[in-house]
């Protein structure tokens, strides 16, 4: 998903959003996802990865597209991939 060697602006504004759900499944017909956290991309990645693994699939991170990734919506898998990058800020 991400272009190797392309820097990511971890300080870019981002929002962690959660989809309405029932029994652990996204309910896309029940409206848009609602904001859970507003901060930087790095902060949103940390917040998402701190959630219980059982419900993590209900979340997305919304941010502006960057050279390293073309989409403005990042899935939990994308967030994990970002967190494993060497240049990801640890604090």
Per-residue pLDDT tens digits of the chain, which is 91 residues long: 677 778 999 999 999 999 998 888 888 788 899 999 999 999 999 999 999 999 999 999 999 999 998 889 999 999 999 999 999 998 7
From CA 70, how far away is CA 1, in angstroms rounded? 9
Pairing of strands 21-22, 25-26: antiparallel
Residue 69: strand pairing partners: 66
On whether the pTM is more than 0.85, the answer is: yes
The helix (H) or strand (E) run that includes residue 43 is helix 41-49
Coil/strand/helix, residue 72: coil
Domain limits, the chain: 13-83
């Amino acid at each position: 998903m991400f272009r190797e060697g392309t820097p990511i602006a971890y300080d870019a504004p981002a929002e962690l959003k959660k989809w309405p759900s029932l029994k652990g499944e996204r309910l896309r017909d029940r409206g848009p996802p609602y904001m859970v956290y507003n901060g930087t991309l790095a902060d949103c990645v940390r917040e998402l990865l701190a959630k219980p693994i059982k419900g993590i699939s209900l979340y997305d991170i919304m941010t502006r597209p960057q050279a390293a990734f073309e989409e403005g919506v990042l899935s939990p898998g994308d967030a994990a991939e970002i967190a494993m990058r060497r240049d990801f800020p640890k604090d």
